[in-house]
Each structure stands twice: as C-alpha cells, then as structure tokens.
Chains A and B, each alone.
Chain A
Amino acid sequence: MQFFRKQFPILLAFAMGMTMFIREFVPAKIATDLYEGFTKWAIVIVGFSAVFAILSLLHHHVNRVRRKVPGYGYSMVTIIAFIQMLLLGLIFSVRPGTPVGWEYWWLFVPMQATMFATLAFFIASAAFRAFRARTWEALALLIAGLLVMIGRVPIGEFISPYLSDFAGWIMNNPNMAGLRGVVLGVALAQIAISVRIIFGIERTYMGGGD
C-alpha cells in the first residue's frame, strides 16, 4: 500500500516524462499516435481538475457560512450566484441570448472590467506622489517610460514624428535586448524545473493529498 502512495507516482512520473521526451526524437508513426493519445486523455483529466477547482472554491465558501466566519454573508452571495448561474447554464446553455449570456454581459463583464479600470486612478495618484527617480537605474527607467508613454500615443506623434520614431526604436532595440536576456533565463529555469520533476527530486506539484 505504501508503494502506491510514495514510490509508484514517482516512477510513473519518470516513465511518462522519459517516454514523452524521447518520443520527440522519433519520427515514426507510433510516436505521433502516442502524442495524440496522451493529449486526448490529458484533456479529460484536466476537465476533472477544473471541476475540482470549482468544487473546492465552493467548499471553502460553504465552510465559511457553516462556521459563521465574520463576513460569511459575502460567501452566501457567492454561493447563491453560483447555483443560479449553474442551473440556468445547464438548462439554457451559456451563449448570448440566454439568461446566462445576459448575466455574463451585463453583470460579469462590467464588474471585472471596472475592477481593473480603477488601476488607472491609482497610477495617476502614484504619478503625482510615488514615482520617484530614487536611484540612477530608476531615473533611466523613468526617462524611457516617459518617452514610450508619450511617443506611442497620437499626441506624441503630433508633437514630433521623431518622438514616436524614438519610442519605436526603444521598443525594438533596448527593450528587445533586455527582455531577451530575461526570456533566455526563464527558459533555462523552466527546463531545470522539468528535469527536477522528471527525476522525482521536485515533488511539490504532487501536493499533500494524504
């Protein structure tokens, strides 16, 4: 029993990882069948994990209501909203022209869009009160930021085409060079993590579950 709890998942991860890695270097038909088969199965598994994510969110809010945690009224709202959306969705489907489609467009979109639109006000107050060139690096950042901010907008192009050309130059050259260094670093980090997962050294993704 202990084997299935500890060793088997690690062996399975190693076997799956190696097969799917080696398969990449084999052009034969069996390799493409393996690739397509794994993808079809993975989509079903991911479907269940998505349902699990929603159930655990619901579980969390139901607990808050049951234990009368302060602010459990908000959780009641979430649960009620969830149930009515699910029922209407299952009966009438979710596309525009159905109750869910209506709620999506007139309740969900405005709320989420506005939540992020509030950030514009915070940027404005930060512009007045917080964005300081505290160090030489911050000064370089601010100068580049201001040039791009004004150069990439019609008013900048109106003031002088050189301003917008220079903003374009910043985007295509220093910005590109800097972020390419970051992309190369991130790619290496991703590969390092993949190696650790396949060789069973990294197990956080397995999660507790016991």
Chain B
Amino acid sequence: MLNLAILLQAESHLLPWQQSMADFFTGDTMVSIGTWIAAGLTLVMFSFIYKDNALFRLGEHLYLGISAGYLMSLYFFNNMKPVFIYQLLPWLDPKFGTPEGSTLNLWVLIPGVLGFFILLRLVPGLGWLSRTTFAFYIGGFTGISLSKVFSGLLLPQFYATIDVIPYMVTSGPDFVKLLNALVLFVGALSVLVYFFFSVEHRGFVGGVARIGVYTLMVAFGATFGYTIMARVSLLIGRMQFLMFDWINAEIIQRLAVIFRGG
C-alpha cells in the first residue's frame, strides 16, 4: 500500500486512471448524490436546535471519524513522507535521481527518534522517554517565543500606545483627531490600571479603573455585535446551500426538465 500511494504522479500531469477518477468524482452524478447527502446531513445537524438527539450524536461521531482519517492521511502525505521518510529512504521517492528527487539526509534520524519517543507514551512504562522530546521541543520553542513576543508583540504595541498622541496630532490640528487620540490613550491606560492588582481600587485609582471597565465593555460590545454577524453569516451560508444548491438545482430544475420534456 505504501508503494501504491508513492506511485501517484504530480497534479499537473495526472495518470490516465487518476484523470478519469477525478472526472468521475467531479461529474454531475457524484455532485448531485453529494448534494443530497450533504442536505440530509445539514438537516440532521440542524435538528440539534430542538434537542440533542441520537441522529445528531451519530453525525458528530461520523464527522470526528472522517476528520481523523483525513488528517492521518494528510499528515502522511504532507509531513511524514516528504520531511521524514524520503529523507531517510530517498530511493522510495518516484523522482529519485532527478533534480526533483529527495536526497539522503541522515541528520533527520535524531528528530525521528525523539518523535518516536512520543509514540511510546502509548506503551505503559515507556512514557517518560517522551519528556526528553518535550524538553527539547518546548524548551527550544519557548526560547524563541520569549524573544519574538517581545519584538513582535509587546514592543510594537507598547510603542504604538506612546505614539498615539503625535500620530494623531501631527496630522493637522483637528478636533476629531485629538479626541480619538485621547480616547485611545486614556482607554488603553485605564484598562492597564483595571488589570493592576497591587493597589486597592479606591479613590482616583478606582475611578480610572471604572473608565477601564467601560472601555472594555465597549470593546466587548464590538465583539458581541461582530460575533452575532458571524453566526448569522454561517446560517445564511448553509441556507444558501439548502435553497439554491439543493432545492433549486436538484428538485425544481429536475422537475422542470421532466415537465418540459414530458
């Protein structure tokens, strides 16, 4: 099975049998079968609105299995094969020997062994080996993120907060610009005060913290409005599918053809 998958040719020039398979799966029959199945599943999943029922749970578990199977073959094609297996056994690559082929790179054995330690967690008693792998990978990655979070997130955002007043004021004496600058400056500072836990929120500090809360509330209001927009868009997307791709294309058009034809 491993070799069969490797025999697959590149997309630009599919093997004849692959081209016919592709035509079959994107052909009309499979599309309309797919539309009917998709419509059925959509209605099953919508049934969750009334109450959690067996069909919905079946759909959920089916979707979990499909996603896991899809991911496993995806990992094999995109990750394990080109980055690991071909580096270790380059002659497995159908294009071996040509410039596009893979070349032997024994260095890849080290991460390979470390990665294998993770799989050993499934074996009772050998799980502790995976700690070395986590230490190597998460330790190294944490070192990178410690510096990058500073240069990519903390400093630019911090610099932009100090830069707020001139950024607004230098672009001409304009009341709205000055107001915006003040809102940005006071808002950001007051939110920092709100999340400051070493001082009791009383008196002046309490007042600034309240401004902070209200700034946060307006920000959450924006998230509230936008999240509603998102959920509604998802619903419209599915209704478009049900109404146009399914009812219109599969039912009305087919009936129209029968009537006109008959």
A and B touch in the complex (CB under 8 A): yes
A45, A101, A118, A152: the one contacting B118 at CB < 8 Å is A45
Least Cβ–Cβ distance between A63 and chain B, in angstroms: 12
Interface residues of B in 149-191 (CB under 8 A from A): 149-150, 153-154, 157-158, 160-161, 180, 183-191
> Among the listed stretches B91-99, B119-127, B198-206, B254-262, which one makes contact with chain A, having 4 or more residues with CB under 8 Å of it?
B119-127
| Residue contact B143 to A16, C-beta cutoff 8 Å | yes
Interface residues in B227-262 by Cβ distance below 8 A to A read 227-229, 231-232, 234-235, 237-238, 241
In contact, A98 and B25 (Cβ under 8 angstroms): yes
Say how far A36's CB is from chain B's closest CB, in angstroms: 12
Contacts of B237 in A (CB 8 A): 113, 117
A122 to B234 CA separation, bound complex (whole angstroms): 13
Smallest CB–CB gap between A150 and chain B, Å? 8
Chain A residues closer than 8 Å to B127, beta-carbon distance: 208-210
CB < 8 Å: which of B18, B150, B225 contacts A152?
A: B225
The dominant DSSP class at the A interface is helix
Shortest beta-carbon distance from B73 to chain A in Å: 3
**A contact residues around B183 at 8 Å (CB):** 173-174, 177
| Chain A residues within an 8 Å CB radius of B115 | 44-45, 47-49
Tell me, yes or no, whether A155 is within 8 Å of chain B by CB: no
Residue contact A190 to B70, C-beta cutoff 8 Å = no
Contact of A163 with B by CB under 8 A? no
Instruction: Chain A residues near B42: list those with CB within 8 A.
Output: 110-111, 114
Residues of chain B within 8 A of A188, CB atoms compared? 154
| Cβ B238 vs Cβ A117 within 8 A | yes
Q: Mark A52-95, 1 if CB is under 8 A from B, else 0.
A: 10111111000000000001001101111111111111111111
Cα distance A106–B234 when bound, in Å?
A: 17
Indicate if the CB atoms of B35 and A106 lie closer than 8 Å.
yes
- With a cutoff of 8 Å between Cβ atoms, the chain B residues found around residue A57 in the complex are 64, 68
Q: Which residues from A are CB-within-8-Å of B73?
A: 85-86, 88-90, 93-94, 100
A107–B135 touching, CB < 8 Å: no
B48 touches A41 (CB 8 A): no
Q: Closest A-chain residue to B147, C-beta based?
A: A24
A182:B191 contact, CB within 8 angstroms: yes
Interface of B is mostly: helix
- A92 neighbours in B (Cβ, 8 Å): 18, 21
Q: Nearest residue in A to B158 (C-beta to C-beta)?
A: A184
Contacts known (A44-B83, A140-B214, A183-B157); A12 close to B69, Cβ less than 8 A: no
Interface size class of B (residues with CB under 8 A): 35 or more
Say yes or no: B180 contacts A52, CB within 8 Å.
no
Q: Is B130 an interface residue (CB 8 A)?
A: yes
Q: Mark A168-192, 1 if CB is under 8 A from B, else 0.
A: 0111111111111111110110110
Are B83 and A43 closer than 8 Å at their CB atoms? yes
Contact B25 A17 (CB under 8 A): no
CB within 8 A of B228: which of A43, A123, A178, A182? A123
Contact A149 B34 (CB under 8 A): no
Contact of A50 among B69, B75, B132, B133 (CB under 8 A): B75
Question: Which listed residue, B2, B4, B128, B191, touches A178 by the CB 8 Å rule?
Answer: B191
Q: Taking CB as reference atom, which chain A residue is nearest B33?
A: A106
Q: Can you give 30 contacting A-B residue pairs, CB < 8 Å?
A: A13-B136, A15-B139, A19-B140, A19-B143, A48-B112, A49-B118, A55-B119, A58-B68, A77-B58, A80-B65, A84-B69, A91-B1, A93-B73, A100-B69, A104-B66, A106-B38, A107-B37, A112-B67, A114-B41, A116-B234, A117-B237, A119-B234, A120-B234, A140-B218, A174-B183, A175-B221, A175-B222, A177-B186, A194-B149, A198-B146
The 3 A-B pairs of least Cβ separation, nearest first, read A85-B69, A181-B191, A89-B73
Give 11 A-B pairs besides A52-B118, A85-B65 with Cβ atoms closer than 8 angstroms: A9-B131, A38-B140, A40-B108, A44-B83, A52-B119, A71-B57, A93-B5, A98-B22, A108-B67, A184-B161, A191-B154
